[in-house]
Amino acid sequence: MAKKILIPTDGSDAAEKAADFAIECAKDCGFEAVCMSVIKPVESVIGNNLEYLFVEKKDSIAQKLLHLGQKAVKSIADKAGRKGIKIKTMTVEAEQVERAIIEVARKEGINQIVIGMHGEGCSLLLAGEMGSVTRRLLAAPPPCPLTVIPPK
C-alpha cells in the first residue's frame, strides 16, 4: 500500500507554502497525496433559531465558499500533477475543521499531515502566530504525524 500525505488547504498563502513543502516531500519519498478543503457552514438566524446552512442554494454565501475551497484544492492538485504526484482531491462540509481533517486522515490511511502555521482563506479563521485550526489539530491529536510549516 502506498504511503499518503494529507494537504489541508484554505487557500491562504500559509496553506500554499505548506502544500509546496508537502508536494516536495511526496515527490522525494514516493508518497501519494490527498488534498482537502473544509467548508464550514454559514450561520444564519432563521426565525428565533440559529441554524447552520451548508451548500443548499445557488448563489448563496455557502456556495461561494464551496467554490473557493474547490479552487484552492485545484491549485494544489495542479502543482502536484506537474511534479508527477498522484493526488486525490476533496472538499468536505463540516462544522469543525480539525475534526474533518482527522476523519479524512483516518479514512484515507494518511501517514503524514502537512499544514500551514496560519491561514485565513476559505475557513474564514484568523488567529495569532498559529492558526486556530492548527492549534486545535495539535490538541486533538491527529492519528499520524503532523508537520506545521512556519510562514517564513
| Its pTM surpasses 0.85 | no
CA distances from 92 to 100, 110, 149 (A): 7, 16, 22
* For the ranges 36-45, 73-82, 126-135, the one whose mean pLDDT is highest: 73-82
| Among the four given CATH numbers 3.40.50.620, 1.25.40.80, 3.30.160.60, 1.20.1250.20, the one describing domain 4-149 | 3.40.50.620
Per-residue pLDDT, averaged over 13-21, amounts to 94
Burial (0-12, 13-18, 19+ Cβ within 10 Å), 67: middle
pLDDT at 126 over 70: no
Rounded-to-integer distance, Cα 63 and Cα 100, Å: 19
- What's the rounded mean pLDDT across residues 88-115? 94
Higher pLDDT, 66 or 85: 85
Cell numbers linked to 66: 464551496
Domain boundaries of the chain, sorted by first residue: 4-149
Q: How open is the CA angle 78-123-33, to the nearest 5 degrees?
A: 35
